[in-house]
Structure 1
Amino acid sequence: MALAITGRVQGVGYRWWFEGQARRYGLDGWVRNRRDGSVEALVSGPRAAVQAVIRRAHDGPPAARVEAVRSSQAEAPEAPGFRRKPTI
């Protein structure tokens, strides 16, 4: 599942927080900042775990102010595990 998260989500630890959530639920994929100020993620794993992380993505860490989380179908990541990727 591909996610696009908008709002005040950069400079507030959102990627680190999201990575922790994804690892907690045993998901594969990645998260990264985009130059437009949003955060982009790709998550793959058991449906219930993916849905749980999407629900949590709406809250984010305490300093974040999430406006929207858009999700769309996507192919699974190429490598297992979860990581942060460089900004694009």
Structure 2
Amino acid sequence: MDDAIRLSAWVHGWVQGVGFRWWTRARALELGLVGHATNARDGRVHVVAEGPRQACERLLQLLRSGTPPGRVTLVVESWEPARGDVTGFEER
């Protein structure tokens, strides 16, 4: 994964208890990404994905698209070099 990047996205809205993490995992795996989608105590979901920049950007577009379960009101993203410390894609 020489060209790999790490996307960290905090997803706000009604995104817990609606299948959002499962949906995110399915999209990430389709895109060949590794990482996790984790519920936060404050009702947000933290999505971390590593892989090619184009695939991470596509996942970010999908998170903002209006198609995920629930209702996404805001996605705050940050980018950094891939760490290579994750395998597969987990729902946490």
> Counterparts of 1:40-51 in structure 2 under 5 Å?
40-51=46-57
Q: 1:31 to 1:39 in 2, by over 3 A?
A: same
Q: What CA RMSD, in Å, does the superposition of the two structures yield over aligned residues?
A: 1.4
Match of 1:34 among 35, 40, 65: 40
Distance, in Å, in 1 between the alignment partners of 2:15 and 2:67 is 8
% identity of equivalent residues: 36
**Among candidates 75, 86, 89, match of residue 79 of structure 1:** 86
Worse overlay, 75-84 or 34-43: 75-84
Aligned-residue offset at 1:81: 1.5
Aligned pair partner of 1:61 in 64, 68, 77: 68
Higher strand share: 2
Q: TM-score, normalised by structure 1?
A: 0.87
Other-structure match for 2:23: 17
